[in-house]
Structure 1
Amino acid sequence: MGIQPRESQVIAGSQTLIKKVELVRFMIEALNSLDYKETAMCLERESGIHLHSQRVKLFMEQIIKGEWDESLSTLPSIESIDEKSVESASAAILQHKLSKACIEKNFAEVSNTLKNQIAPLCKNDKHLMARYLLNRSHSKESLGEIMPNLRNILSRQMIPERRLANLVDRALLDEKYTHIPSKTLQILKGHFDEVWFVQFSHNGKYLASSSRDYRVVIWEVNEATHEVSLMRVLRGHSKAVSYMSWSPDDTQLLTCGQNERVRRWNILSGELLREYFIWGTGTFSCTWTPKGDCVLAGLADHTIIVWSLEGKEMHRLEEPHVSSWTSDLAIKSNGVIITAFDLDSILLFGHEKRKLLEVEDGEVLTFCLSEDGDFLLVSLLNEEIQLWNIGLEQPVIVKTFEGHKRQKFIVRTCFGGKGQGFVASGSEDTQVYVWDRASGEIIRKLEGHSRTVTCVSWNPTNPSMLASASDDGTIRIWG
């Protein structure tokens, strides 16, 4: 029979980075912090592992009671403590003791602490006493502030508060950032002019791109290798194609342009199924109803038209007193239409027409609806991107994203990544910008394009895949 390892040496993790004793202590501290006291005590009894040793418990009790001199005596006797930790913890305790005495105007205690306790510590450091005296009037640490400080200094003897929760937070954050695209995997060259729009299908199997060259290209994503290859080219437009929308089942695609009619395609066969247009006006945007049984288009005359798939006009929504075109279109799952009709506002068309939100100090260029339909990413003329929570009774801005460049052209944004936890945007400085959706911080600047990045699209089923379109005529796949 082999020799059994000591309990303190038993490995708990697969990477030999954490021992069983450490993990159990982390769990006990986590249970206590969540107020599961009885469960924590049960774990201590069953494992025979205690959160703190008897000497550490005594030390903590002395600190809590304000028994500073007693805690200084107990400190060196704590198991496995090194000289440097004793010095750092002693300094923290004496600083706190000195501050308390100053606040209470106990000058005898101040004199005794400086002369008999702090001075001996400072005999080898002429500047240390000056720092004590300089800081004593400014340090007003409460017990709740000194205890975390001591836990950090004595981290081997005292488990820091919420240690397990913080480790899990860090691990989840590392995992979240692991999937963020960071390099060019492929450069797709299927167009002969500026590429203005790019969009993945809902199932992530296809990518559509449209260009100033009148062409729409369908690309196929290999599910095994994740490589993107040209599937077919859709020809039929006679002007630039600047907007597209996938059908709910991803078998069809709507395409349109500023001076073009809406076209509906079967992407599997490449067949043009139907054209939708109103004489004398161009289209700026197009989309589908949630069931895919109707087609919508935003026209240049401030009108939204709803057609049946066969081309019969079903509804006409007008806003004649605005000063801008009908911008992007989106439809929530309940059938409510979202559009930007005017320069500074976004409207809802449902059972009744109403203003959803109004921006200040900016003009709406484009917007993007989140997958759950509760958030709207609004790009403004002033280079600001606003994230609105529209799932509330009164929509509010929850975050703003800044840093990308936009002066002359329209550049589009998107949600993406794991849980749509990130925001990406094109930019006139040839880079793709990626922000953390929660913090608003820029976490990536993807370099590679040589001209303005006009549009970005994140693969909805592959959080590591991002596509960008550019005026340099290429599409880049990032991973």
Structure 2
Amino acid sequence: MPLANGNGVGPSGSNGVMNGKGALARVNLPGHLLYEGSNVDREEFVRLLLQSLRDVGYIESAATLEAESGYSMEQPEVERFRGYVLDGKWSKAEAALTRLGIVDEESIWDAKFLINKQKYLELLEAQKTTTALHVLRTELAPSSPEPAQLHALSSLIMCTEPEDVRQRAGWDGASGQSRQQLLLDLHRFIPPSVMIPKRRFLTLLQQAHEDQLRRCIYHNTPSDSTPFSLFSDHMCDKDGFPGVTTTILLGHADEIWNVEWSHDGMFLASGSADKTAIIWYMGSDSRKWEAHLILQEHPFAVHSLAWSLDDSMLLTGSEHFIKLWDAKTGTCLRTLDEHTETITALSWLPDGSGFISGALDRKIIQWDTEGRKKLSWGLSDLRITDLAVTPDLSRVVTIGMQAPSSSESSTRGARGNGTPGDHSTSNSGGNPSSGNGIMATEHRCIVYHFSTRQVESSVKLDGELTSVKISQDSQYALINHAPDEIHLWDLRLGRLARKFTGQRQGRHIIQSCFGGIDGTFVASGSEDGNVYVWHRDTGLLLEVLAGHEDGSVNSVAWNPKNERMFASCADDHSIRIWEAPTRETNIDAPRHTHYSVSYSAKGKGKTRQVDGDVEDATGMASSSSATLL
């Protein structure tokens, strides 16, 4: 026997509506699922359709569907409740709560508190102080979940002007959107089957779109510019992925250990074992690179780099020295020598108040924008090999080796002594070998709360830790972990989220990065001379990019303004710029091998060597080059 479709009736209480030819009969369908074998409830589906049709203005169509299906979008009590809240009928709104399916006593108290808070603020705004005080004492105080919140509300009594009330309460007033916001806040107490969340169908569609983007392993375009069709799933091909070397930058005389992009994506800084840093300028055409400045005056190899937020200054780390440079002129503004061992990390603070440094001497030091010492965090438990500040300035993530006892310290060397090529992890005091008197080393990741400088968490990890980067949403820390792993840590949940494998790392300091739209890729160098790229959310290895010669690829940095470009630097003294293929690009080599790029345009088709004289920090002319493939 066919089942009825529900207990709802048409808007007039009849079993149908008039359509010019008579009343529409209710359609009776068997079962309660939308399709046989599906798990979608038909009533929920139809009620969401009714909500969507009314939202976009198809009122008669909604009425027809309601009559044919026998389902009502919501009970009349729900619509009346909305009206009570939007019209400011607070007593009636309170009384209606129990009729909306709220059975938990605590939830009822919390919902009443929100309603009375709105009533209280509106009375203060209307300068009805006596009535507001009565509400505070007899209605808010008995239901206040927190004394501190009640105290903050009571302090508003002293406001003499409506604008003061709105400003101090962070509230936009009775004539603003506060009542609509109150309805949204009350939604969490009312069962969604009783009061359907606002625009629920649209929310489901947006969630489906976001899930498709996450599943698309080569997705690399902004979500707001990505076409979204209801007729087919989203899927990108490889065309948007930067897998082609378009430029090789030559200028350093020894291994290049680090590269960092400026925030505007127009400049690239590189640090080398040849005791120099070079600032490269890309220009408006990514194939017109030039060496903008050569920063000399370093007594040792340059291993740490950091751009100021406005890109006007560059920090370089060379052993225990920090140099602060004017990135436009190449003038060394200040040399800092507060650290006593190798500086392994430099990071400008996201609020623009200065920068922070970490070193093997266990010190974490905060500096102002002019390089004056502001604050020392004291001695960490770690000989710090790297640190990173979360973009929301809530945490500082440090990695390194547990500090040795005094009896051990004399047997352990610091990283490098200025000898070109000395960038192995063993010189950082880690990976001690047996039989030489060095004790086993414990490696840890310690997370500090930035404002209090207190330890939030400390995790012991097996294997050496050489690099840490933070995702733009401040949720994930990417940690290079020898041997041969990169770990993705969820800082909010305090657990390992994923491992990335395939690259080679056991002897050298290798630095990885997030890249692409919303940090959807993870890229890393490797001791086998290749660049490895994974899909962050699945851990799938997407590309192994060859091109660098023998030796390690030491660092990879993604352009912050161009999701289709990143740079890599290596022991072969070169920097490679990787970009997405264009119509001019011809890939005539097998996948995952060196890409040979040619151009069909006039005057192109061969490798061009661009040589030129640039000024170094002393004003002397120096030669550098950029090879364009």
Instruction: Bin the TM-score by the shorter chain.
Output: 0.5 to 0.7
2:565 paired with 1:470? no
What residue identity is the alignment partner of 2:386? S
2:520 paired with 1:421? yes
Q: 2 CA distance for matches of 1:223 and 1:341?
A: 40
The structural deviation recorded for 1:208 is 0.5
Show the counterpart of 2:242: 181
Show the counterpart of 1:239: 300
2:271 to 210, 223, 228: 210
| Aligned 8 A contact 1:364 1:381 in 2 | yes
The structural deviation recorded for 1:370 is 1.1
Change (3 A) 1:166 1:438: farther
2:461 paired with 1:396? no
The structural deviation recorded for 1:166 is 7.6
2:267 paired with 1:168? no
2:389 paired with 1:327? no
| Aligned 8 A contact 2:321 2:343 in 1 | yes
The structural deviation recorded for 1:283 is 1.6
Show the counterpart of 2:556: 456
2:474 paired with 1:383? no
Show the counterpart of 2:281: 220
The structural deviation recorded for 1:178 is 2.9
Render the CA deviation track for 1:52-101: whole Å, top value 9, x for unaligned: xxxxxxxxxxxxxxxxxxxxxxxxxxxxxxxxxxxxxxxxxxxxxxxxxx
Q: 2 CA distance for matches of 1:380 and 1:446?
A: 21
Number of residue equivalences = 323
Q: 2 CA distance for matches of 1:166 and 1:456?
A: 38
The structural deviation recorded for 1:318 is 2.7
| Aligned 8 A contact 2:246 2:287 in 1 | no
Render the CA deviation track for 1:263-302: whole Å, top value 9, x for unaligned: 1111111111111112643322212222333232212211
Change (3 A) 1:304 1:189: same
2:446 paired with 1:346? yes
The structural deviation recorded for 1:460 is 1.0
| Aligned 8 A contact 1:421 1:437 in 2 | yes
| Aligned 8 A contact 1:289 1:335 in 2 | no
Structure 1 range deviating more: 299-308 or 440-449: 299-308
Unaligned stretches of 5+ residues in structure 2: 1-39, 62-227, 402-442, 580-629
The structural deviation recorded for 1:333 is 2.9
2:341 to 281, 284, 303: 281
Identity of aligned residues (%): 30
Q: 2 CA distance for matches of 1:453 and 1:165?
A: 43
Show the counterpart of 2:165: none
What residue identity is the alignment partner of 2:396? I
SS in 2 for 1:419: helix
Show the counterpart of 1:370: 471
The structural deviation recorded for 1:398 is 2.0
2:291 paired with 1:291? no
What residue identity is the alignment partner of 2:457? L
Change (3 A) 1:430 1:411: same
Render the CA deviation track for 1:122-169: whole Å, top value 9, x for unaligned: xxxxxxxxxxxxxxxxxxxxxxxxxxxxxxxxxxxxxxxxx9658332
What residue identity is the alignment partner of 2:473? D
Change (3 A) 1:441 1:165: farther
Q: 2 CA distance for matches of 1:219 and 1:360?
A: 37
The structural deviation recorded for 1:402 is 0.6
What residue identity is the alignment partner of 1:405? R
Unaligned stretches of 5+ residues in structure 1: 1-29, 47-162
| Aligned 8 A contact 1:357 1:395 in 2 | no
2:290 paired with 1:190? no
Q: 2 CA distance for matches of 1:364 and 1:448?
A: 26
1:250 to 306, 311, 317: 311
| Aligned 8 A contact 1:302 1:341 in 2 | no
What residue identity is the alignment partner of 2:242? P
Q: 1 CA distance for matches of 2:229 and 2:465?
A: 44
SS in 1 for 2:299: coil
| Aligned 8 A contact 2:322 2:335 in 1 | yes
2:495 paired with 1:436? no
SS in 1 for 2:232: helix
Q: 1 CA distance for matches of 2:341 and 2:484?
A: 29
| Aligned 8 A contact 1:205 1:221 in 2 | yes
| Aligned 8 A contact 1:196 1:454 in 2 | yes
Q: 2 CA distance for matches of 1:387 and 1:279?
A: 30
SS in 1 for 2:518: helix
| Aligned 8 A contact 1:284 1:299 in 2 | yes
Render the CA deviation track for 1:434-476: whole Å, top value 9, x for unaligned: 0011111111111100121000001011111110000000000
What residue identity is the alignment partner of 2:232? L
Instruction: Give the aligned CA root-mean-square deviation in angstroms.
Output: 2.8
Q: 1 CA distance for matches of 2:314 and 2:343?
A: 16
What residue identity is the alignment partner of 1:457? A
Change (3 A) 1:279 1:338: closer
Q: 2 CA distance for matches of 1:329 and 1:312?
A: 20
Q: 1 CA distance for matches of 2:243 and 2:45?
A: 38
Change (3 A) 1:167 1:362: farther
Change (3 A) 1:423 1:326: closer
| Aligned 8 A contact 1:345 1:355 in 2 | no
Q: 2 CA distance for matches of 1:227 and 1:388?
A: 38
SS in 2 for 1:167: coil
Q: 1 CA distance for matches of 2:288 and 2:518?
A: 23
Show the counterpart of 1:267: 327
| Aligned 8 A contact 2:320 2:340 in 1 | no
The structural deviation recorded for 1:429 is 0.7
SS in 1 for 2:278: strand
Change (3 A) 1:226 1:355: farther
TM-score by length of 2: 0.48
SS in 1 for 2:364: strand
The structural deviation recorded for 1:224 is 4.0
Q: 2 CA distance for matches of 1:330 and 1:216?
A: 23
Show the counterpart of 1:300: 360
Q: 1 CA distance for matches of 2:497 and 2:241?
A: 22
Q: 2 CA distance for matches of 1:261 and 1:349?
A: 26
Change (3 A) 1:315 1:166: farther
Show the counterpart of 1:134: none
TM-score by length of 1: 0.62
What residue identity is the alignment partner of 1:262? I
What residue identity is the alignment partner of 2:568? S
SS in 2 for 1:297: strand
The structural deviation recorded for 1:260 is 3.6
SS in 2 for 1:328: strand
